[in-house]
Amino acid sequence: MAATGLPMRALDYLKAVREEVRRVTWPTWDDLRRSTVVIIIVVIIIGIIIGIMDFLFAQLFVEFLPRLFG
């Protein structure tokens, strides 16, 4: 009896998932393209900021502090 219960519950679950996916409001291609461009630009900006911070901290810890205490 348990063998038929699990497959039926799995089937019911998949049917519910299918119904839910049909109710989703999917973005248009223009919205998707626009969002992708914004995300790429933000990632590039954050990468540049992290790169600048890495350079500054490297200069601080490798160049400046040893001169200060050495």
Mind spelling out the 3-state secondary structure of 18-38?
HHHHHHCCCCCHHHHHHHHHH
What are the C-alpha distances in Å from 61 to residues 40, 47, 51, 69?
A: 31, 21, 15, 11
Residue 62: pLDDT over 90: no
Residue 57: pLDDT over 50: yes
Higher pLDDT, 22 or 64: 22
Confidence of residue 1 (pLDDT cuts 50, 70, 90): very low
| Count of domains observed in the chain | 1
pTM: 0.62
Percent share of the chain, pLDDT over 90: 70
Domain of residue 59 covers 2-69
Rounded to the nearest integer, the mean pLDDT of the chain is: 90
Could you tell me if 14 and 6 are in contact, meaning their C-beta atoms sit under 8 angstroms apart? no
Residue 4: pLDDT over 80: no
